[in-house]
Amino acid sequence: MTLHFQCLPTDLDPEQVKDYLYELQQRSQTPSQTYFKHTVYGLRFLLKTEGLPYQHLHLPEIKKDKKLPVILSREEVWRMLQSAQLMKHKLLIGLLYGCGLRCMEVRSLRLRDMDFDRQLLHIVQSKGNKDRYVPLSPHLIRGIKTYIAAEHPTDYLFNGQPQDRSGGDASASLSTGFDSRYSQRGVQWAVKTVAKQAGILKEVHTHMLRHSYATHLLEDGVNIVTVQKLLGHASIDSTMEYLHICQLPEHLPQSPLDKIFAQCSRHGK
């Protein structure tokens, strides 16, 4: 934009900026949506450093692509649980799906957050600095107790491996602020690896298990306000998207192919 107008963007009037962005989208060699977004984000960064509001240049709103989340079937979740070779991985998948946890939340679980007697899991200071409680399955409780007895964690439920960055022993990395939690990359790798071992062709990631949790709850008849609270969504609009993919019996249409098979089979065709 600076090269095009031979001046700083902050010296332009709103109409010039609007015309430039429109032209950027209409050129024969149309730039990608990502390039267009980066142009707008660059302008916003410039305005922020100059202490000017976004409205100064009336920058267009960048709308997010509306894509429905992809979920796992119950059978696919079961196959993942059966395919996990390590107890640690089995529990990770069980907690991500069975409690609808985000990756950061499962990494941050402490022993003190689990109330086995009341069968509740305390999610502490998650997204938006909010706490919440979610039901903890008796199946998970049995697995967690077995895991604790074998691994002897003392603070976080899942510990990572210290990376020696100083050329010395592991204690050196601890003294430089090593995060003892299981790493985000480690959680993501575990989920993808187990999904592959289970023969699942979908591009499985940690958040897909959370999507599946929400969708299956709605299919089981749990009301959407309760699902919102269990997920820790600040707005119910975020939870509403799962209504577009859950299969409620009263709303589930039947394929016309099923009717053809039923009619023809009765007449021996």
Q: Pick the residue with more confidence: 176 or 241? A: 241
In the annotation, is 207 catalytic?
Answer: yes
Beta strands in the chain, from DSSP E residues, in sequence order: 114-115, 120-123, 132-135
Q: Check 107, 210, 211, 216 and give the catalytic one.
A: 210
CATH 1.10.443.10 residue window(s) in the chain: 74-243
Give tens-digit pLDDT for 56-92: 556 566 566 678 889 999 999 999 999 999 999 999 9
Mean pLDDT of 232-236: 91
Q: Check 74, 127, 142, 145 and give the catalytic one.
A: 127
pTM assigned to the model: 0.69
Give tens-digit pLDDT for 4-60: 777 777 777 767 777 777 676 666 455 566 677 777 778 778 777 877 776 655 656
Domain 74-243 has CATH 1.10.443.10: yes
Mean pLDDT of 215-241: 92
Q: Check 102, 181, 211, 216 and give the catalytic one.
A: 102
Q: Check 18, 44, 122, 233 and give the catalytic one.
A: 233
Whether 168 shows a pLDDT value over 70: the answer reads: no
In the annotation, is 202 catalytic?
Answer: no
Which pLDDT belongs to residue 78? 96
**Could you say which DSSP state residue 157 is in?**
S
Which pLDDT belongs to residue 54? 62
**What residues contact 60, with CB distance under 8 A and at least 6 apart?**
18, 21, 40
Q: Check 122, 192, 205, 207 and give the catalytic one.
A: 207
- Residues 188, 206 contacting (CB under 8 angstroms): yes
Question: Could you give the CA distance from residue 46 to residue 10 in angstroms, rounded to a whole number?
Answer: 8
Confidence of residue 250 (pLDDT cuts 50, 70, 90): low
In the annotation, is 102 catalytic?
Answer: yes
Question: Could you give the CA distance from residue 255 to residue 244 in angstroms, rounded to a whole number?
Answer: 18
Q: What does the mean pLDDT of the chain come to?
A: 82
Structure token digits, residue 244: 């577009």
In the annotation, is 242 catalytic?
Answer: yes
Which pLDDT belongs to residue 210? 95
Mean pLDDT of 193-212: 96
Which pLDDT belongs to residue 20? 74
